[in-house]
Amino acid sequence: MSDSGFAKLKFAVSLLAVGVMAAAHSPAGDLSLPLTGNLLGSVVDASGTPQMGASVQLFNRYERLIAKTLTTPDGRFAFADLPADLYTVRVSLASFLPASRDKIAVKAGTDSLLQIHLATLFSSVELTYAVPTGGMSEDWKWVLRSSPATRPITRLLDEDPDSASAQLHPRIFSGTHAMVSLSGGDGGLIDSDSAQPDLGTGFVLSTNVMGKNQLQLGGSFGQNTGLGSAMGLCAIYSRDANGGFGEPPEVTFTLSQFALMEGQLAGQNPVIGMAGSIPPVRTMSLSIYQVADPTENLHLEYGATGESVDYLQHTTRVSPFARATVGMGRFGEVIAAYSDGGRPDELTAHQLVRAAAEDSPQDFGDDLTGPANTLARLPQLSERNGRLELQRTGNYELGYDKSAGSRTYAVSAFHEDVSNGRINVAGDISVLAPGDLLSDGASMTSTYNVGRYSRNGYLASVDQRVTQSLDLAIAYGRMGGFTADSGRDPATWGTEGKFLDHTNHNLASANLRARAPVSGTQISASYGWVETGAVVPRHMFTTQNIYAQPGFNIIIRQPLPAPFGMPGRLELTADLHNLLAQGYLPLYATDGRRLLIIQSPRAIRGGLNFIF
For residue range 599-609, list pLDDT tens digits in order.
888 888 899 98
Tell me the one-letter amino acid at 275: A
Q: Count Cβ atoms below 10 Å from residue 339 Cβ, excluding itself.
A: 26
Strand spans (E) along 312-436: 313-327, 333-341, 381-384, 387-390, 392-404, 407-427
Assign 3-class secondary structure to 214-250: EEEEEEEEEEECCCEEEEEEEEEEEECCCCCCCCCCE
Q: Are 347 and 542 in contact (CB under 8 A)?
A: yes
Q: What are phi and psi of 259, to 5 degrees?
A: -105, 150
pLDDT surpasses 90 at 400: yes
pLDDT in tens, 209-221: 877 788 899 998 8
| pLDDT at residue 363 in the model | 40
The reported pLDDT for the residue numbered 158 is 40
Find out whether 605 and 575 touch, Cβ atoms under 8 Å.
Answer: yes
Q: Using CB atoms within 10 Å of the CB of residue 32, give its burial: 0 to 12 exposed, 13 to 18 middle, 19+ buried.
A: exposed
Residues 93 and 55: beta-carbon distance below 8 Å? yes
% of the chain at pLDDT higher than 90: 24
pLDDT of residue 77 exceeding 70: yes
State phi, psi for 366 to the nearest 5 degrees.
-70, -30
Q: Is 407 helix (H, G, I), strand (E, B) or coil?
A: strand
- What value does the mean pLDDT take over residues 5-16? 49
When comparing pLDDT for 147 and 313, which is higher? Answer: 313
What confidence score (pLDDT) does residue 278 get? 63
> 3-state class of 306 per DSSP?
strand
pLDDT of residue 274: 37
Q: Place 506 in a pLDDT band, splitting at 50, 70 and 90.
A: very high
Checking if the pLDDT of 266 tops 60, the result is no
**What pLDDT shows up at residue 147?**
54
**Residue 137 burial (CB count, 10 A):** 8
Output the CATH code of domain 33-168: 2.60.40.1120
- pTM of structure: 0.69
Continuous segment of H or E residues that includes residue 128: strand 124-130
Q: Which residues have C-beta within 8 Å of that of residue 196, sequence separation ≥ 6?
A: 183, 185, 187, 220, 222, 230, 376, 605
State the span(s) of the chain assigned CATH 2.40.160.
Answer: 173-611
Task: Assess contact for 302 and 274: CB atoms under 8 A.
Answer: no
> What phi and psi, each to the nearest 5 degrees, are found at residue 108?
-65, 130
What number is the average pLDDT over the span 192-198?
69
Average pLDDT of the residues in 455-478: 93
Which pLDDT does position 131 carry in this prediction?
58
Most confidently modeled of 364-368, 500-504, 557-561?
Answer: 557-561
Residue 80: per-residue pLDDT: 87
Q: What average pLDDT does range 226-255 have in this prediction?
A: 75
* Cα 189–Cα 194–Cα 198 angle in degrees, nearest 5: 60
Distance CA(322)–CA(336), nearest Å, equals 8
End-to-end CA distance of the chain: 68
477 backbone dihedrals φ, ψ, rounded to 5°: -160, 180
Residues 6+ apart with CB under 8 A from 88: 58, 59, 60, 61, 63, 100, 101, 102, 103, 104
User: pLDDT band at 325, cuts 50/70/90?
Assistant: very high
Most confident of 171-180, 319-328, 379-388: 319-328
Specify the pLDDT at position 393: 94
Cβ atoms of 336 and 313 within 8 Å: the answer is no
pLDDT tens-digit map of 523-549: 999 999 998 888 888 888 999 887 777
- Angle, CA 367 vertex, CA 248 and CA 242 arms, to 5°: 35
Confidence grade of residue 23 (pLDDT, cut at 50, 70, 90): very low
Q: Is the pLDDT assigned to residue 296 strictly greater than 60? A: yes
CA distance 382 to 377: 15
The answer to whether 282 and 268 are in contact (CB under 8 A) is no
**Which residue has better confidence, 311 or 153?**
311
Q: What is the mean pLDDT of residues 411-432?
A: 89
pLDDT at position 4 = 53
- Spatial contact of 280 and 228, defined as CB atoms under 8 Å apart: yes
Q: Where in the chain is the domain with CATH 2.60.40.1120?
A: 33-168
CB 218 within 8 A of CB 374: yes
Lowest mean pLDDT among 37-41, 237-241, 295-299, 550-554: 237-241
Give the tens place of pLDDT for each residue, 361-394: 334 345 677 777 777 777 888 888 888 889 999 9
Burial of residue 560 (CB within 10 Å: 0-12, 13-18, 19+) is middle
Query: Which of 154-163, 199-208, 320-329, 412-421 has the weakest average pLDDT?
Result: 154-163
Q: What is the reported pLDDT for 319?
A: 95
Predicted local distance difference test score (pLDDT) of residue 546: 78
Identify the top-confidence range among 232-246, 318-332, 440-454. Answer: 318-332
Backbone phi, psi, residue 267, to 5°: 85, 0
DSSP 8-state symbol, 518: T
Closest by Cα among 558, 560, 462 to 509: 462
Alpha-carbon distance of 75 to 178, in angstroms, equals 39
The pLDDT of residue 78 is above 50: yes
Specify the CATH architecture of the domain 173-611: Beta Barrel (2.40)
Q: Which of 437, 432, 452 minimizes the C-alpha distance to 499?
A: 432
Among the residue ranges 52-61, 122-131, 348-357, 520-529, the one predicted with the least confidence is 122-131
Residue whose C-alpha is closest to residue 457's, from 548, 331, 573: 548
At residue 360, the pLDDT reads 41
Encoded amino acid at 95, one letter: S
Find the range with the poorest average confidence among 163-167, 258-262, 301-305, 462-466: 163-167
Run of H or E including 151? helix 150-157
User: Among 200, 543, 175, 54, which residue's Cα sits nearest to residue 347?
Assistant: 543
Residue 208: predicted pLDDT: 83
Q: Is the pLDDT of residue 430 over 90?
A: no
Average confidence (pLDDT) over 273-287? 71
- pLDDT (0 to 100) of residue 223: 78
Per the CB < 8 A criterion, the answer to whether 43 and 191 are in contact is no
Note the pLDDT of residue 509.
92
Would you say residue 273 has pLDDT above 50? no
Dihedral sign of CA atoms 90, 93, 98, 101 in order: negative
Give the residues across from 77 on adjacent strands.
41
% residues pLDDT > 70 (the chain) = 73
Average pLDDT over residues 184-202: 73
